[in-house]
Amino acid sequence: MSQLDTLKHYTTVVADTGDFHQLAQFKPQDATTNPSLILKAVQKPDYQPLLKANQAQHGQLPMDERIDRLLVRFGCEILSIIPGRVSTEVDARLSFDTTATVARARRLMALYQAEGVARERVLIKIASTWEGIQAAAALEREGIHTNLTLLFSLCQAVACGQARVQLISPFVGRIYDWVKKSAGTAWDEAAQAGVNDPGVKSVTQIYQYYKHHGIATEVMGASFRNLGQILALSGCDLLTISPELLAQLADSQESLVRHLDPESARATTVPALHYNESGFRLALNADAMATEKLAEGIRAFCADAVKLEALMYA
């Protein structure tokens, strides 16, 4: 079997793309999107008819609703190919506004339901700010399930567990990028590979914490830079993987070893943590990497949202 087939025995494989034409060949269970991936997709010739149709049908609506309808259109196309769930992101410019995030999430879900999509097949992606986590808690109480993204630290994961969110997406590759850049000439790629990769270690810590304390929130490793990071997290609840890396996994026949399993994680000794708002903000502030990467990620998604709006005006 290919590494991709073997990985699917241990982990739910999720495709990380807005390009739904690429999905069928990899047979993922779920799929995730974000503003950057949607922007990349709509600039391809294959998706110009979809963009133009959205403009023709909804061009009279306010821009934010036109964007939401485009996101839902992509989501519906993806759901016609995969058996599981699609993640659709709330505008990153609302990352520090709990009330506005809840309202936008409700509208996205209403648009999906108007297309005949059940709530269980949609995850609303929200940045893992304190405000975003509180919005997710409110949405989960309403039966709208969430995927907390731009997650780089244990304190964010603990707060998400307290909020009983459905799923979190800790970012492996962006942690790796920050630590490598910070190390400079002292960086040793071989010594920091596989299970020793800083991003892999962060996700492993979160996975063990959740399993040890019986937290039901799903852990989905995200943002991978290489196959080694993926293979070192085999057994994680879910892994969301780009089409390029999915293709590499599909082409490889090398053996794959399971690294994470719930029984072993439950046997570890992991102290319980709890955060109120001030404690969360202090813990996040103490983690320079998480603070910087969260802010950077929000800025990048905001910039791509603006670029997407510009395409809608064109």
Catalytic residue among 27, 40, 44, 125: 125
| Catalytic annotation present for 211 | no
Asked if the model's pLDDT at residue 33 lies above 80, the reply is yes
Whether the per-residue pLDDT at 314 is higher than 80: the answer is no
Band (pLDDT 50/70/90 cuts) for residue 35 is confident
pLDDT digits (tens, 9 = 90+) for 239-287: 999 999 999 999 999 999 999 999 999 998 899 999 999 999 999 999 9
Percent of the chain with pLDDT over 70: 100
d(CA 21, CA 17): 10
Mean pLDDT, rounded, for 169-183: 98
Q: What is the pLDDT of residue 312?
A: 85
pTM (predicted TM-score): 0.96
Residue 313: predicted pLDDT:
77
Residues forming beta bridges with residue 124, ordered by sequence position: 88, 146
* Count of domains for the chain: 1
Structural domain harbouring 174: 3-313
**Has residue 107 got a pLDDT over 70?**
yes
Q: In the chain, what percentage of residues exceed pLDDT 90?
A: 94
Instruction: Give the model's pLDDT for residue 251.
Output: 97
pLDDT single digits (tens) 277-307: 999 999 999 999 999 999 999 999 999 999 9
What CATH number is attached to the domain comprising 172?
3.20.20.70
